[in-house]
């Protein structure tokens, strides 16, 4: 997906742009989904790609929405992130390249992973809206 910087600025709020296009991070416990309990799918705020299902969401205590797995492995891509003097694994939307957050190997089973994702990178779609 190719979109110009100006197009992203028009489509996204300043916070969404900062997080997804500039690899920013929202403050812990400040995002709209960190404590969200809805039943549905979390989509990329930039392109609408389904990324995480609420059935894989759990309370990690980190202050960001945490998931133990993406909807499908092919929906996200991971890359090394050595910024801020740390070694982490960055998570991006495979469709549009949006920065989502990071993944850590300290999550619950069945995967043992914690996808720590910025709320500003997500748009929630309630599963109930899909039902007649």
Per-residue CA distances from 27 to 15, 16, 22, 114 (Å): 11, 13, 15, 18
By residue count, the chain amounts to 132
Residue 8, SS3 per DSSP: helix
What is the Cα–Cα distance from 23 to 40, expressed in whole angstroms? 26
Residues noted as catalytic: 116
């Amino acid at each position: 997906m190719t979109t110009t910087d100006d197009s992203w600025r028009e489509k996204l709020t300043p916070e969404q742009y900062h997080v997804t296009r500039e690899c920013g991070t929202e403050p812990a416990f400040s995002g709209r989904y960190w404590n969200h309990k809805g039943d549905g799918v979390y989509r990329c705020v930039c392109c609408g790609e389904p990324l995480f299902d609420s059935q894989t969401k759990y309370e990690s205590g980190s202050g960001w929405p945490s998931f133990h797995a993406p909807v499908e492995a092919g929906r996200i891509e991971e890359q090394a992130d050595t910024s801020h003097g740390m070694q982490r694994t960055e998570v991006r939307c495979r469709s549009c390249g949006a920065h989502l957050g990071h993944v850590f190997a300290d999550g619950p089973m069945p995967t043992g992973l914690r996808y720590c994702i910025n709320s500003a990178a997500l748009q929630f779609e309630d599963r109930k809206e899909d039902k007649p």
